[in-house]
Amino acid sequence: PMSTFFTIFWASWDLAKLKIYPALFTLIEKEKLSDDFHIVGYARSALSDDDFFDIFATSVRSHMKNWWDREEEILLTLKNRIHYISAPYDTSEGFEKYRDFIAGLSEEGKISRCSQEQSSVEMTENSDFWKEKFSHTQLLYLAVPPTIV
């Protein structure tokens, strides 16, 4: 199977903590998302993957109606699928860092790769390069201030 990345730009924003993180957890808990589903937080704040996981976990725990041992176990299984990148929004260097970060996950074996035949995504520029290096699906949630865009 092909890995899927859900990247939340401006991951430190309150809306992500109030709505996005609990909604993603609910989908995972109800087995609506595959085991190759990764959550990537992108923001300017200097955080580690562990720091971001703690933010995600705190948000989920505080917004779920029922929290039992099963939910805690599910949350802990997500730890290696929640990632964070600190980079600027307003320069190409930030997005190059993001591209390299995703490529690094692939090289470390943290994400699945598929053959070109399995990929249904058509890339425009450097199509063969992108399909070979980044055989995965990306969903981007762009919750950035209007001054950035």
- Contact by Cβ (8 Å): 122, 79: no
Q: For residue 64, what are the CA distances in angstroms to 12, 27, 60, 93, 131?
A: 19, 12, 6, 37, 38
Q: Would you say 38 and 82 are in contact if contact means Cβ atoms under 8 Å apart?
A: yes
3-state helix, strand, coil in the chain (%, to 5): 45, 15, 40
pLDDT of residue 104: 84
CA atoms within 13 A on the CB side of 93: 5
Could you list the pLDDT tens digit for every one of the 149 residues in the chain? Answer: 578 889 999 888 888 898 999 999 999 989 998 888 999 999 999 999 999 999 999 999 998 877 788 888 999 999 999 999 999 988 889 989 998 988 887 766 555 544 333 333 444 444 554 455 556 788 888 877 777 66
Distance between CA atoms of 149 and 147, rounded to whole angstroms? 6
Say how many C-beta atoms besides its own lie within 10 A of residue 96's C-beta: 11
How far apart CA 118 and CA 126 sit, in angstroms, is 18
Strands (E) located in the chain: 3-9, 37-43, 82-86, 136-142
